[in-house]
Structure 1
């Protein structure tokens, strides 16, 4: 039986990680994998996370199962963080295995509700979005999003494409810090998208993987809150990997907002059923860390302070890179780097130019020229800037 299996295409980002590890050159720089690193190149455990784990270790008396949907403490704390004003009569939620698990469960739920749906997803998007949908056999189309000339949002193209979505379709949107481009919609543009979804009856699925990494914890949730307050049905997949730095704990949540309590109860039952069929009980340790922090004023304040340090570090690196490139190029064509938000920016370079940067300077970025700003430090920024100019980007 097993000999009948077919080889699967390797993940390009994971392949890039392996290539980086094998490179023996001094001063090599990894801008590929989407993990935050401090100026010393370390992905640290946040202070509040360590403190919360200590409390959990001291107080926990059992490792018994929690619930198929996860603990109410975690689900309620996450709903308050993401939505602020929680519409309890409309909200259903389940803990998931990371943000990726939330995306997968959201798509499974949507297919249960509408077997004939089409998913509309930005071009480009996080590659795993497409991989998951292809594996599930879900029909999808990509809407225009990134303007390779301006390195901003092609909003006219986006509107023209999502206008084709019909009632019961899913439109997958990045809540903030668009991956892989770093280019975000403005509030006014979000309002236009909401009006289009309201007219078509398509349902938004918001991927909120980087809340707190862009303009601040509340500012990054502003678009999601606006959508939730404006439309009768919304799916939200949120991750705690980045903003709490608990990547390996695989902590995520799927939230749905329904039109009424009957639909909410139906959604809650269906999501709990999907958890049971997929992995039964969701992991608890990361969720307990998150709820411990969010439900304690002192821990939350310390966590938000450190999260702000992380965010401001990335903004500083963006400003430094844009400034270096302005000086080297004698133009402002790279100023988009400072305008982008989150961990990533897309340079708009060709695969050949990306390869030249890697070959000549040992700087690794994804082939579509997505670079992880958090993989830089003050010393490596000038090296990257020079490599970008020398590659003719």
Structure 2
């Protein structure tokens, strides 16, 4: 690699960072696409641009949705709730509340511990670092949130994938089991990341029966004491799903001690607290020592990476769940936007069916994905029509969370026409 030429002599590149930190510099696909969309909006006006890149909830005018009930509660906090350090593990009442709201009526039997993290991303980081070794592979689906790979490579791990869908666009249990077997044979230790319900980027959700099949299969693999399995469940968008979507969490009860279940909790979407970075990593085990080990490892990682979490966010969650009337207001606001999200998604899916546009199976969540053999070329072609989507490795991601119903209705036709042109 060379930086340039001076007087006909080649100048070798000079690096100050350690070898493991030398990386290719590439623009983030999501933020890059949004930058293009924002430029088009400034030039042509908001109404003439479809910006399906942003993974936050926007109203029909493109304004970030924030829950008044939540931010009024935030403003009522005393100064010390903002200024004071939080405990390294997180405020105890916050952690108890995070566990309560994560599982709802479906709390599994077993030993449950939690440690505060900066959003669900922090939980992923702790799981990757504490439960895999250098060079090992972490399993997730072939459609996945790209920061999984960033976190893995940042810590010297690799992402391995199974095919999420079979030929009939159903969950590909056969390929999933095959990859689990392959990696356990090679490593004897395996982290499996499953993002459900409301998978990012497809909006796919596993059914209860599919979860039951996964759990039963993992129990069979755990019959060998040599195998250590960590099932990491990313539920970042669960607050925008129906309550019944939590039912599968009860299946985490009384699993073999060499299966540790980890659930990532996040306040970002369900409380519109994206920027306050508050969440938790929650461990479930049938073995008390494993659960205590989990808490100790994650607490140590907190101190070594970011120290404390955001105290005011923790205070707000505990305040909401202490006050039934405030909790009712929060849930009323959230339900309003859940319904809006459902209307937008249904409009997109109906329009896709009408024009014959193939999409990944959608059930819940902020995103719908469109398979494509040339996602970058398709995204470029759509940008000529002032339509901006995020190109992924296997297709395009469309953020129904940030696009009005009217624009959701017309986007499938524009995508289909762009596909024909390229």
Same fold (TM over 0.5): yes
1:152-208 Cα shifts (integer Å, max 9, x gaps) = 533333233233342431111113111111122211111111011112232201111
Decide whether aligned partners of structure 1 residues 34 and 161 sit closer, same or farther in structure 2, where only a CA change above 3 A counts: same
Structure 1 residues 87 and 344: CA distance shift in structure 2, 3 A: closer
- How far apart, CA to CA, are the structure 2 residues paired with 1:50 and 1:33? 22
Residue 300, structure 1, aligned to residue 319, structure 2: no
Q: Does 1:366 align with 2:391?
A: yes
5 Å-filtered alignment, 1:5-44, equals 5=17, 6=22, 8-23=25-40, 24-26=43-45, 27-44=48-65
Distance 1:197 1:298, change over 3 A: same
Structure 1 residues 287 and 146: CA distance shift in structure 2, 3 A: farther
Shift of 1:96: 0.5
Describe the SS at the equivalent of 1:169: strand
- Alpha-carbon deviation of 1:355? 2.4
Q: CA deviation at 1:140?
A: 3.3
CA distance in 2, matches of 1:88, 1:56: 35
Match of 1:158 among 155, 176, 201: 176
Q: Does 1:125 align with 2:144?
A: yes
TM-score by length of 1: 0.89
SS of residue in 1 equivalent to 2:199: coil
SS for the counterpart of 1:391 is helix
Out of 342, 349, 356, the position equivalent to 1:322 is: 349
Following TM superposition, by how much is the alpha carbon of 1:63 offset from its aligned partner in structure 2, in angstroms? Answer: 2.7
Aligned to 2:89: 69
When normalised by structure 2's length, the TM-score is: 0.83
Taking the TM superposition and a 5 Å limit, the aligned residue runs for 1:169-248 are 169-201=190-222, 202-214=229-241, 216=242, 218-228=243-253, 230=255, 232=257, 233-248=260-275
- State whether residues 107 and 250 of structure 2, in contact with CA within 8 Å, keep that contact through their aligned partners in structure 1: no
Structure 1 residue 294: deviation in Å?
2.4
Aligned equivalents of 2:161 and 2:140: distance in 1?
5
**Larger gyration radius, structure 1 or structure 2:** 2
* 1:334-356 deviation digits (Å, cap 9, x = unpaired): 5866x432111111133123322
- Between 5-14 and 168-177, report the one with greater CA deviation: 5-14
Structure 2, unpaired ranges of 5+:
1-12, 223-228
**Structure 1 unaligned residues grouped into runs of 5+:** none
- CA separation in 2, counterparts of 1:346 and 1:63? 42
Distance verdict in 2 for CA 1:229–1:8, change over 3 Å: farther
What is the CA deviation profile of residues 230-254 of structure 1, one whole-angstrom value per residue up to 9, with x for unaligned ones?
A: 4542111121101111100001100
2:111 to 71, 84, 90: 90
Q: Is 2:363 aligned against 1:340? A: yes
Tell me the distance in 2 between the aligned counterparts of 1:9 and 1:363. 19
Q: Does 1:144 align with 2:169?
A: no
- The match for 2:406 is 379
SS at match of 1:269: helix
Moved more, 86-95 or 32-41: 86-95
Contact conserved, 1:165 with 1:200, CA < 8 A, in 2? Answer: no
**Contact in 1 for aligned 2:253/2:286 (Cα 8 Å):** no
Over aligned residues, Cα RMSD in angstroms?
A: 2.6
Instruction: Say if 2:308 is the partner of 1:289.
Output: no
Q: Tell me by how many angstroms 1:33 deviates.
A: 2.3
For residues 61-101 of structure 1, the C-alpha deviation after alignment (integer angstroms, 9 at most, x for no partner) is: 77322210010111100101112365696112111111111
TM-superposed deviation, 1:285: 1.7
Farther-moved stretch of structure 1 (340-349 vs 67-76): 340-349
The alpha-carbon distance between structure 1 residues 275 and 264, as it changes in their structure 2 partners (threshold 3 A), is same
CA contact (8 A) 2:138 2:158 kept: yes
Distance of 1:355 and 1:122 partners within structure 2: 26
CA distance in 2, matches of 1:76, 1:228: 18
**What's the CA shift string for 1:232-280, capped at 9, x where partnerless?**
4211112110111110000110011233222222222211111000111
2:419 aligns with 392
Per-residue CA shift, 1:303-345, capped at 9, x if unaligned?
A: 1122122111111112222223334x2x5x65866x4321111
Bigger mean CA deviation after superposition, 201-210 or 219-228: 219-228
